[in-house]
Amino acid sequence: MLTESCPYTLEVMGHDYDIDPSYRAALETFKAFASDELSDMEKAGIMVHNLFLGEENYSLEVWQGMVEKAAWFLRGGDETHEKPEKIPTVNFEFDNKRIYAAFKKIKVNLNDKITLFDENGEPELDENGKKILIYMHWWDYLAHFSELPECELSRIMYLRHLYNTGELNKKEHKRERKEAERIGWDIIKIKASLDDDFDWIK
């Protein structure tokens, strides 16, 4: 489900830098964000290392620009520091197995690679003349959440939404509250990956 709007480079201070746009690079970054043992500076460094390809001997000014652009990319292109409405209440690390199972229901295999195309619609080739294959683009990964059918993951995301908005305590959601109790509050109260992981980026 690749779209023309999915970026494969990020512009920082007038220069386009190649990035690893795959969902795997993004998830590795969120895994680092979830660590209590890493400082904010270390998390930012890991984010730049995971997403930007090539040299790493950047000036401080360029590096800071990369941090901001990388955060924008991980938010799905959202210009604000708030979680985009289209992205559901999901924790990519904690919900990993549920996500994999849910995607299989819509016939999306996260282990598959796809051909990388250039701006003219031609396949990108490596130095040996072979087509470059990549894992699913991060933005396509996010977009698939809007296609999910009724499944364990979609129900849990719905219950988390009700919990986070305070709706779960209302009388009309008595059935959902019982379902949340059955599933377990330790699952429902898990913090979503995109809720506030970027608060430390100014």
Which structure tokens are listed for 159? 């219950």
CA distance 9 to 21: 8
CB 72 within 8 A of CB 145: no
Q: Is residue 60 part of a domain?
A: yes
Structure token digits, residue 172 = 């009309």
Let me know if residue 183 belongs to a domain.
Answer: no
**Could you give the CA distance from residue 76 to residue 36 in angstroms, rounded to a whole number?**
24
Residue keyed to tokens 């480079």:
9
86-100 in b/e form (b: 16+ CB < 10 A) is: ebbbbbbebbeebbe
Mean pLDDT for back-to-back runs of 10 residues, the chain (202 residues) = 71 93 94 89 94 85 94 83 59 91 90 77 78 87 87 92 88 91 90 67 56
The number of C-alpha atoms within 13 Å of 103 and in the hemisphere containing its C-beta is: 20
The answer to whether position 165 is within a domain reads no
For 74, the token pair is 């991980």
Is there a domain that residue 91 lies in? no
Instruction: Read off the pLDDT of residues 10-45 as tens digits, 9 standing for 90 and up.
Output: 999 999 999 999 999 999 999 998 888 999 999 999
Beta-bridged to residue 131, according to DSSP, are: 125
Q: How far apart are CA 113 and CA 22, in angstroms?
A: 10
Q: Report if residue 62 sits inside a domain.
A: yes
Domain that holds residue 144: 1-83+111-148
In-domain check, residue 137? yes
Distance from first CA to last CA of the chain, Å, rounded? 32
Report the number of distinct structural domains present in the chain. 1
CA–CA distances in Å: residue 122 to residues 21, 47, 72, 118, 131: 18, 30, 27, 5, 10
pTM, to two decimals: 0.81
- Give the pLDDT of residue 85: 46
β-sheet bridge partners, residue 22:
137
Q: Residue 133 has which token pair?
A: 């294959």
The pLDDT value given to residue 149? 87
Contacts 24+ apart (CB under 8 A), 108-113: 108/136, 108/144, 110/23, 110/135, 110/136, 112/136
pLDDT for res 28:
94
159-173 exposure pattern, b = at least 16 Cβ within 10 A, e = fewer: bbebbeeeebeeeeb
